[in-house]
Amino acid sequence: MLPALEFPADPSWMVPDEEQCALLWDKYDMMPHIRDHCRAVAGVATEIVRRAEERGIIPAGRALSVPLARAAALLHDLAKSYSIRHGGSHAQLGAAWVREETGNPLIAQAVLFHVEWPWSGTSMDDVRDPMRLPVIVAYADKRVRHSEVVTIKERFDDLLVRYGISADKVDNIAANYAHVQAVERAIFERVGIL
């Protein structure tokens, strides 16, 4: 087992860089294809935030930056390999691991919410204001099938095949698809089509 990661004592310690994320991938035995997926998700997430920064549309005081989005996206599936091998929610376990390893509650929140959007159906805040870390990471994840950036329709068709094992799962995937379409429109209105 690798020792706990050490970060500098300044505020940037809460945002691991790519090398530190790779050390966590090693520590938690992340499979190579999941690493590739996380890199592709990070590419989408960082492009969204980069464009938002260029346009000056990130609200003042909002904890959102390219390094933060990159780290959250690189770590969003940290527990996926473990969950494949042993069961359990990779989002919940991954969020706990990320919080423990980085101390960063924002990255942990993005990991926790990247699979299911708990606010869909109850609030459209993520459509009115999509420039929030959990929304961007969840959306970016929905744009990557394996390690390839695809349309959300292509991604959700894949999710139905792989995870649509019951009527409840199919209904949940369909509801998330409609919601992600609205989020995508809101993101594109702000940063352009990806």
The reply to whether 39 falls in a domain is: yes
Domain enclosing residue 34, as ranges: 15-191
The reply to whether 26 falls in a domain is: yes
In a 13 Å sphere around the CA of 59, the CA atoms on its Cβ side amount to: 8
The reply to whether 7 falls in a domain is: no
Query: Residues near 75 by Cβ (< 8 Å), separated by ≥ 6?
Result: 16, 21, 24, 38, 94, 98, 102, 107, 111
Tokens encoding 86:
């042993």
The reply to whether 94 falls in a domain is: yes
pLDDT of residue 120: 52
**Is residue 94 within 8 Å of residue 77, measured between CB atoms?**
yes
Query: Residues near 6 by Cβ (< 8 Å), separated by ≥ 6?
Result: none
Assign 13 a pLDDT band (cuts: 50, 70, 90): low
* Residue percentage of the chain with pLDDT more than 70: 89
Which comes out higher in pLDDT, residue 61 or 49? 49
Give the tens place of pLDDT for each residue, 131-151: 999 999 999 999 999 999 999
CATH number of the domain enclosing 22:
1.10.3210
The reply to whether 54 falls in a domain is: yes
How many domains, in total, are found in the chain?
A: 1
Residue 123 amino acid letter? S
